[in-house]
């Protein structure tokens, strides 16, 4: 059974790698992954003068790669489910057998190979010690690979299981956002501070060895001292953790296959909610209300947007702390808008075949496109405005406000137009959701992906006139010249939003049937 699942995984992967976004992601990801893996192995093998220092560096880098396995699916909003558990629901397999087969298939692909290369640097570190230490290091690299793969599966499966209930969806998305948010500060800490502790015996150095990501490097350190029984102990701990994670994954798979997802529920117009109170009762207002409710209730939409909103808010702050400057904080709001735009470029793909209701209703495309754009603005603008107002004030740098507030309107306007433009010109189908909102699905194709990248670049280039005015004002040390960039940003943003909405409306009116065919699940 394991061999069959592995061959299925290989066949499906080969088929998906032939064209479209999946092929581009595969080759780019594999290339950069191999470079990162080889660089990690080289650093572990050479960036030290003593075995103790090498073990500290290895423990820090192992922790960074482990964080990548945990936070990667949350940050990118997708996880690899080439073989979905629901596809084997009717087979006479127990959940533990299914977990065993899917777990084995999870080790097929470029990601495990890249990580094995990175962890293989531990063998190079142990080479000067002797063959026994090299054997310990090889076992540690393999055991740690098994541990991180299963840990990633358990985290994603737990989030998917949590989101099968209404309350769990809220907690799951919040927890996912916190996981994605924790990756950057922890990774910065481990990557920046860890290698500097080469000859250090502080609490942080001990902590890097005490957590599971440091057990394999510590085994090499114990082998260097000749204490091989102690060296085998952390390896046994990794093996035990892997078995426990496999058991937990089996339980989560059983819940996923036997627990029905909570229904979203029918939207009942009570006439007394805040949306009905403040949004006008017009076709555009009805579409705004519908979109806001959909963003709030659809787990897959929230999983795509909410983590990136929080990451965009906080990441520039951590980067400024690391660099010791305040330049990145200035553009916190802009970064929030840019990430939110990139995560919302397939609105009609989320709706799927429900688009036909818009196509058969006279005059609906205009209200539909405008409603989606306005709803996106209402979701993103408050977070981006707060991200632009709070950091400069907290740092006591009032001179940063012209930069923060002048670039924000143009990026919001371009993002508002880009979201609906790409949703009509580069839409692609999403697989039916089966309980895991972080399961990767959909293939926009290479041409559509390049269009998305081009629009994302245009969003940044549109702010160039504003930045030029701000630069001139800074050079002249004239705040009035700097604040003159704000109305320019408002005009550019308004023009970009109007242009994007108009082009999207025309596309939906003229090529609506083709759009419906694009977003129809295969």
Instruction: Inform me whether the pLDDT recorded for 268 exceeds 50.
Output: no
The neighbour count for residue 245, using CB atoms within 10 Å, is: 22
Render 240-257 in DSSP notation, one character per residue. Answer: HHHHHHHHHHHHHHHHHH
Select, from the ranges 10-24, 200-214, 469-483, the one with the highest average predicted confidence (pLDDT): 469-483
Where residue 267 falls among pLDDT bands split at 50, 70, 90?
very low
Report the pLDDT value the prediction gives residue 19, as an integer from 0 to 100.
59
Which stretch, 5-9, 125-129, 371-375, has highest mean pLDDT? 371-375
pLDDT in tens, 217-241: 999 989 988 888 888 999 999 999 9
pLDDT for 375-391, tens place per residue?
999 999 998 898 888 87
DSSP secondary structure of 120-187: THHHHHHTTT-HHHHHHHHHHHHHHHHHHHHHHHHHHHHHHHHTTSHHHHHHHHHHHHHHHHHHHHHH
pLDDT at 266: 43
Mean pLDDT throughout 248-265? 70
The pLDDT score that the predictor gives to residue 269 is 45
User: Does the structure show a pLDDT above 80 at 139?
Assistant: yes
pLDDT band at 265 (very low <50, low <70, confident <90, very high): very low
Name the token pair of 292: 């806001």
Q: What is the DSSP string of 440-463?
A: ------HHHHHHHHHHHHHHHHTT
Return the pLDDT at 44. Answer: 86
What is the model's pLDDT at position 200? 52
Nearest to 439 by CA among 82, 67, 30, 26: 82
Q: What number of H helices and E strands is found in the chain?
A: 25, 0
Choice among 31-35, 140-144, 202-206, 504-508 with the minimum mean pLDDT:
202-206
Give the dihedral of Cα atoms 76, 77, 81, 85; nearest 10 deg.
150
Average pLDDT score over the chain = 78
The secondary structure of residue 26, as a DSSP letter, is H
Model's pTM, two decimal places?
A: 0.62
Q: Is the separation of the CB atoms in 428 and 518 below 8 Å?
A: yes
Which range is least confidently modeled, 32-41, 82-91, 210-219, 463-472? Answer: 82-91
The predicted-structure confidence for 182-195, as pLDDT tens digits, reads as follows: 555 555 555 555 55
Give the torsion through C-alpha atoms of 492, 497, 503, 505, to 10 deg. Answer: -160
What is the phi/psi pair of residue 25, to 5°? -60, -40
Helix/strand/coil (H, E, C) string of 42-99? Answer: HHHHHCCCCHHHHHHHHHHHHHHHHHHHHHHHHHHCCECCCCCHHHHCCCCCCHHHHH
Identify the pLDDT of residue 336. Answer: 86
Region 32-39: what's the mean pLDDT?
Answer: 87
Residue 264 has pLDDT above 80, yes or no: no
- Whether residue 312 contacts residue 329, with contact meaning beta carbons closer than 8 Å, is answered with no
For residue 141, give the nearest of 169, 160, 117, 171 by alpha carbon: 117
Q: Which of 452, 290, 496 is nearest to 378 (CA)?
A: 290
Sketch the domain layout of the chain as residue ranges.
Answer: 2-258, 274-519
């Amino acid at each position: 059974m394991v061999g069959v699942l592995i061959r299925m995984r290989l066949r499906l992967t080969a088929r998906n790698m032939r064209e479209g976004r999946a092929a581009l992601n595969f080759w780019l990801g594999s290339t950069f992954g191999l470079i990162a893996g080889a660089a990690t192995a080289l650093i572990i093998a050479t960036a030290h003068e003593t075995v103790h220092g090498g073990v500290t560096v290895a423990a820090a880098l192992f922790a960074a790669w482990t964080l990548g396995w945990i936070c990667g699916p949350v940050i990118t909003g997708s996880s690899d489910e080439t073989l979905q558990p629901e596809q084997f629901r009717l087979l006479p397999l127990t959940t533990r057998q299914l977990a065993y087969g899917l777990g084995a298939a999870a080790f097929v692909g470029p990601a495990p190979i890249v990580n094995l290369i990175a962890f293989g640097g531990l063998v190079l570190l142990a080479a000067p010690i002797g063959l026994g230490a090299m054997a310990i290091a090889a076992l540690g690299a393999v055991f740690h690979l098994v541990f991180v793969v299963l840990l990633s599966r358990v985290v994603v499966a737990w989030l998917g299981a949590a989101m099968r209930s209404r309350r769990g969806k809220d907690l799951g998305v919040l927890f996912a956002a916190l996981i994605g948010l924790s990756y950057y500060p922890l990774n910065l800490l481990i990557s920046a501070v860890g290698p500097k502790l080469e000859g250090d015996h502080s609490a942080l150095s001990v902590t890097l060895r005490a957590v599971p990501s440091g057990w394999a490097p510590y085994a090499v350190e114990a082998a260097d001292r000749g204490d091989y029984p102690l060296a085998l102990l952390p390896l046994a701990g990794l093996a035990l953790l892997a078995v426990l994670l496999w058991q937990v994954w089996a339980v989560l798979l059983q819940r996923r296959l036997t627990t029905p997802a909570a229904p979203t529920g029918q939207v009942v117009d009570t006439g007394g909610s805040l949306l009905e109170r403040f949004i006008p009762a017009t076709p555009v207002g009805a579409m705004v209300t519908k979109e806001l409710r959909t963003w709030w209730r659809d787990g897959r939409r929230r999983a795509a947007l909410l983590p990136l909103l929080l990451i965009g808010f906080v990441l520039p702050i951590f980067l400024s702390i690391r660099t010791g400057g305040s330049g990145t904080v200035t553009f916190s709001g802009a970064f929030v808008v840019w990430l939110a735009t990139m995560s919302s470029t397939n609105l009609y793909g989320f709706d799927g075949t429900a688009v036909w209701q818009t196509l058969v209703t006279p005059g609906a495309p205009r209200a539909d496109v405008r409603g989606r754009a306005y709803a996106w603005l209402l979701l993103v603008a408050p977070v981006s405005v707060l991200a632009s107002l709070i950091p400069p004030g907290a740092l006591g740098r009032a001179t940063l406000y012209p930069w923060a507030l002048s670039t924000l309107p143009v990026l919001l306007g371009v993002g508002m137009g880009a979201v609906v433009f790409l949703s009509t010109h580069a839409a692609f189908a999403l697989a039916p959701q089966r309980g895991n909102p972080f399961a990767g699905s959909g293939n926009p194709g290479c041409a559509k992906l390049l269009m998305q990248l081009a629009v994302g670049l245009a969003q940044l280039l549109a702010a160039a006139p504003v930045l030029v005015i701000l630069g001139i004002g800074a050079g002249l040390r004239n705040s009035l010249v700097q604040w003159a960039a704000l109305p320019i940003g408002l005009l550019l943003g308004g023009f970009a939003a109007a242009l994007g909405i108009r082009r999207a409306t025309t596309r939906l009116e003229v090529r609506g049937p083709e759009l419906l065919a694009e977003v129809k699940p295969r």
